[in-house]
Copies of this chain bind each other. A is one copy, B any other.
Amino acid sequence: MSIRVGIAGYGNLGRGVECAVKHNPDMELKAVFTRRDPASVKILTESVSVYHIDAAEKLKDEIDVLIICGGSATDLPEQTPYFAQWFNVVDSFDTHARIPEHFANVDKAARESGHIGMISIGWDPGMFSLNRMYANAILTNGMDYTFWGKGVSQGHSDAIRRIEGVKNGKQYTIPVEAALESVRKGENPVLTTRQKHVRECFVVAEEGADLERIEREIKTMPNYFDEYDTTVHFITEEELLRDHSGIPHGGFVIRSGRTGWNDENSHVIEYSLKLDSNPEFTASVIVAYARAAYRMHQEGQTGCKTIFDVAPAYLSSFDGEYLRAHML
């Protein structure tokens, strides 16, 4: 019997989840829920219906795991605990500072209803957190480094587009190669913000706009750009659409540490991602953890879980015997 999946929220991430379910033959998309008029939402899976999100409760016996694809700022803090009263839920809540509070809310709701609430699943938070944790547990005496990119930062792209005279724009975060190399050599450098990443902007200006002012406003923008070396390229709308319409991302989690009676040996653990599509990869991680949520619930577990709480075997469609024989 397939694991029946529901999707709440149909943007880039929701569509990514739909694609990921297609890649997992033991799973089946059962319904998509939206806050929009359901008739206006066209999904990729022909046989599946789109419902208004207020109708979700009615399908509680037909869905094993509901994947909540809202935003972290206002949607998920409300939605994840709310839907945990009827469903096992998985979200990708990514406001690091508010995770403890979100955990407590989801834990309470999921325990009361006897469900699993899996939060902050994706790659950062998610696989990057997991790799930081594993590497810290192994090399207790060491230093952590996280680099992001090359990839599109949605927040920084939005910031550019708010500048007067800017019609459209996209921002890439790029790790500084020299910093990466030093970390990889185990040199344990102390790196400033400027030494870790550079920012590259592709900007479509409105006709007649003052390009020098736009460039200056970008480069000096507090928090977003002022602490970085930033490059600004002015391009046409056609070039932007042709060359910069993807949502690539990725990054590197590196820990270097020392072992030996007198710390005489050095080791470097590195985990990296190179992603054509940030939302589709995030969705692929989420769907694997939806399988885990289903199985943990089947075993009678309840409450909020993070990526740290899930034994790896729960993620795989293969059973333990197969995994031991073929992947260990």
**Known A100-B324, A259-B280, A320-B309; contact A138-B184, beta-carbon cutoff 8 A:** no
Query: Is the CB–CB distance between B137 and A23 below 8 Å?
Result: no
Determine if A136 is an interface residue (Cβ-Cβ < 8 Å).
yes
Copies in the complex: 2
How far apart are the CA atoms of A168 and B291 in the complex, in Å? 53
Determine if A272 is an interface residue (Cβ-Cβ < 8 Å).
yes
> Which listed residue (B129, B261, B280, B315) contacts A260, Cβ 8 A?
B280
> Which listed residue (B100, B272, B328) contacts A120, Cβ 8 A?
B328
How far apart are the CA atoms of A132 and B327 in the complex, in Å? 7
Give chain A interface residues in 307-328, CB to chain B under 8 Å: 307-313, 315-317, 320-321, 323-325, 327-328
CB distance from A60 to the nearest CB of B (A): 27
**Known A100-B324, A324-B99; contact A19-B275, beta-carbon cutoff 8 A:** no
How far apart are the CA atoms of A105 and B276 in the complex, in Å? 45
> Which listed residue (B103, B127, B328) contacts A96, Cβ 8 A?
B328
**Known A100-B325, A328-B129; contact A267-B260, beta-carbon cutoff 8 A:** no
Determine if A125 is an interface residue (Cβ-Cβ < 8 Å).
yes
**Known A23-B259, A129-B327, A324-B100; contact A276-B265, beta-carbon cutoff 8 A:** yes
Determine if A188 is an interface residue (Cβ-Cβ < 8 Å).
no
How far apart are the CA atoms of A23 and B269 in the complex, in Å? 17
List, in ascending order, chain B residues with CB within 8 A of A311's CB. Answer: 308-311
Determine if A24 is an interface residue (Cβ-Cβ < 8 Å).
yes
Determine if A273 is an interface residue (Cβ-Cβ < 8 Å).
yes
List, in ascending order, chain B residues with CB within 8 A of A96's CB. Answer: 328
List, in ascending order, chain B residues with CB within 8 A of A236's CB. Answer: none
CB distance from A131 to the nearest CB of B (A): 8
List, in ascending order, chain B residues with CB within 8 A of A285's CB. Answer: 138
How far apart are the CA atoms of A19 and B44 in the complex, in Å? 55
Query: Is the CB–CB distance between B320 and A312 below 8 Å?
Result: no
Determine if A274 is an interface residue (Cβ-Cβ < 8 Å).
yes
List, in ascending order, chain B residues with CB within 8 A of A269's CB. Answer: 271-273
When each residue 12-42 of chain A gets 1 if its CB lies under 8 Å from chain B and 0 otherwise, what string results? 0000101110111000000000000000000
> Which listed residue (B184, B281, B327) contacts A259, Cβ 8 A?
B281
Query: Is the CB–CB distance between A137 and B259 below 8 Å?
Result: no
How far apart are the CA atoms of A186 and B275 in the complex, in Å? 10
Determine if A49 is an interface residue (Cβ-Cβ < 8 Å).
no
Top 8 closest A-B pairs, CB basis?
A265-B276, A137-B315, A308-B313, A259-B280, A265-B277, A268-B274, A137-B288, A311-B311
